[in-house]
Amino acid sequence: MSERIFDEIKRIFPDPSSINVLSWLRIRSVSYLKSRAEGKEIPEEKREILEDLFKAYSPERLREAFNRASNLLDAQKSALLSCGYDVFDFLATTTSRLIVGMASEVFGKQIFEVGLSWDPILNLPYIPGSSLKGAFRSHLERERPDLVPLLGSKSEASLVIFLDSYPVRSRYNLIVPEVTTPMYREQDGKIREVEAEPKPVFYPVINTDVTFRILIGGFLSNPPRPLMRDKGRELRNQLGQFLKEVLKKGIGAKTLVGYGLMEIP
């Protein structure tokens, strides 16, 4: 009986506009995880799941999901404005493939060994605000350390808020399969040359030419800390340029090998 149910689930095509894709992925992967636990890992099954995700996230299937994401961001923007924040609204497009949340247990890691930051309600990957703020802070620490206090500390709240960023447009399929082939694996804290063996790892990543909407709120025109007034206004005037420089260097994982590069038109 249960085998027939799983066979039926396999035939269900994930649709970002109508079903919970995270639940589909978890159920869809049950038979694969069962086989792997029994020592019968079948790479073809993993590839089939990735191919289904690739087809499901084609531009024409994403209109409703993108509209929901835009509506959420509009509501968040209105809330920030009503609280007196300056609000900065940017569109940034990926110029290379993007991986955010490799360690996340929410989406994909159990089956693909590599996670992805995922919103289970919107059925979309996203860039956490904490990732954006961390990259922004690192940039200021290198280039403008005098402005870093505006981002807060253990004793003072940040004057700047980075919201989670969602995709709102995609020229091609939003999610694409990626594969890396590590040669070595660590055992007991050591890597043994004689045990080198190529082992492909398949996992989903965000495609190039995907446009994310980035919202940043801040008390920068008239900060509540008077000593920060001139610094706040300076950051307000240069925020867009700083963000461009941050995104050109990359967001997320594997930026040193060319992933996560974005640009603001």
* Euclidean distance between CA atoms 223 and 229, whole angstroms: 6
pLDDT, tens digit (0-9, with 9 covering 90-100), for 191-201: 666 566 667 77
Q: Which of 15-24, 109-118, 138-147, 171-180 has the highest mean pLDDT?
A: 138-147
Per-residue H/E/C for 115-175: CCCEECCCCEECECHHHHHHHHHHHHHHHCHHHHHHHCCCCCCCCEEECCEEEEEECCCCE
Q: Where are any strands of DSSP class E within the chain?
A: 86-94, 118-119, 124-125, 160-162, 166-170, 175-180, 186-187, 190-191, 201-206, 210-218, 262-263
pLDDT, tens digit (0-9, with 9 covering 90-100), for 204-262: 999 999 999 999 999 998 888 888 899 999 999 999 999 999 999 999 999 988 999 99
pLDDT, tens digit (0-9, with 9 covering 90-100), for 75-96: 999 999 999 999 999 999 999 9
Contact call for residues 31 and 134 (beta carbons, < 8 A) = no
* Euclidean distance between CA atoms 87 and 217, whole angstroms: 5
